[in-house]
Amino acid sequence: MNIKSLDNMEKIVKSNWTLSWSGWDVIQSFPNPAGWSKKNGAFMKNRWFVQRRFNVTESGWDLPDKIVSLYEER
């Protein structure tokens, strides 16, 4: 789903603990002990995570429907 509004994107990020901001991009992070061996692994808060980046484009952010539907259910 395409999110075009910064206000809506801020609400989605705020309501989902797996999401965070990196500049204008949104990062989704999942704990994963094998993150050290992954290309998209990151060490944060004394744990390994696997991350997925959603870059902002001219048309907004393209997020999987599952992430957006979790926000809309609240």
Cβ density class 4-20: b for 16+ within 10 Å, e for less:
eeeeebeebbeebeebe
Whole-number pLDDT of residue 61:
97
Report the alpha-carbon distance of residue 51 to residue 41 in Å, rounded.
6
Q: What is the pTM of this model?
A: 0.85
Whole-number pLDDT of residue 66:
87
Where residue 72 falls among pLDDT bands split at 50, 70, 90? low
Whole-number pLDDT of residue 23:
97
The tally of domains found in the chain comes to 1
Domain that holds residue 68: 2-73
